[in-house]
Amino acid sequence: MPRRSSLPVTFVVPTLVILLILSMVPTLYAIVIALQNRELSSADYSYVWFSNFYDLFSDRRFLNAVWVSVKWEIVTVAATMTVAIGLGVLMFEVASPRLRNIYCLLFIIPVLLPRVSAAFVWKFAYHPLYGIATYPYRLLTGGMIFDPLSKPATALFAVASVDVWQWGLFFAVIVLKLLETLPRQPIEAARLDHARSWQIHAYVTLPMLKAPLVSLMFVKMIESLRSFDLIYVMTRGGPGVATETLDMYAFSQGFIESGKVSYASAMAVLMMVATVITFTMLWKRVQA
């Protein structure tokens, strides 16, 4: 009966086509541009094929950006998960149910702030003369100046701490709620089995929560890839190139410094390929 089977197709096909166009066209276009030598300053271009990619690997600033991106990813994901699990377990162990609710409410607020607002709030907090985050340092050293955002050694961590402030606290709430859903009996059995509080969590509750915690980590890994706005507001990749991640570098190559759109596109394409491969591999490993 061809009439019947054509009905679902009629509804599904247009949506699929739109979705495909929306997702595939920009991607394909980016790939095409990456193979050309377009610049913002002139309209003519030609195909240079892989020479953009070839250039990238001898570009020290690009290699630095890769390294900064990897550092950013590792630092933010590790710190977020550590803070989330640490705070979640701490709340679970010591806070009364009422206090927990209050903490949960407080801990959700940072993540509700738009990134850019959070970035501005903290940028001011890190201000060497007036910021409250640097106030303890001024107090202890009798007014010496410390500007974490303008020191290459500390800038990345200062920006990462804003990210952790937003996501670590929020994930702590999720970890607490996960712990609260666990059955009580295995925990009680562990107490009877001579396990201390930290051992109960290390050996019983957290392993029981392995699957949701791994999912949380993946969410954070993907989220950490989109930190452009945070870094842009706080340091613009500086000082020097200390916090210049791949997306920052691509942006400045494409639109700020030289207008080398094709070069920036090549970077974006590489980043996409690397991300897809890395995540697929990680996901497969976790599933196994």
188 is a site residue for other proteins (CB under 8 A): yes
207 is a site residue for other proteins (CB under 8 A): yes
Query: Per CB under 8 A, which region of 178-186, 215-223, 235-243, 266-274 contacts other proteins?
Result: 178-186
Nearer to other proteins, 70 or 189 (CB): 189
185 is a site residue for other proteins (CB under 8 A): yes
The backbone torsions φ and ψ at residue 146, rounded to the nearest 5 degrees and listed phi first, read -135, 120
d(CA 57, CA 64): 11
198 is a site residue for other proteins (CB under 8 A): no
Pick from 47, 124, 203, 283 the residue near other proteins by CB under 8 A.
203
178 is a site residue for other proteins (CB under 8 A): no
Distance in Å, CB of 196 to other proteins, minimum: 8
Which residue in 17, 45, 52 sits closest to 31, CA to CA? Answer: 52
Nearer to other proteins, 93 or 188 (CB): 188
208 is a site residue for other proteins (CB under 8 A): yes
210 is a site residue for other proteins (CB under 8 A): yes
Pick from 149, 204, 221, 225 the residue near other proteins by CB under 8 A.
204
Query: Per CB under 8 A, which region of 65-73, 163-171, 186-194, 232-240 contacts other proteins?
Result: 186-194
246 is a site residue for other proteins (CB under 8 A): no
Distance in Å, CB of 190 to other proteins, minimum: 7
Nearer to other proteins, 35 or 214 (CB): 214
Radius of gyration of the chain (CA): 24
Residues that bind other proteins (CB under 8 A): 183, 185-186, 188-196, 199, 203-204, 207-208, 210
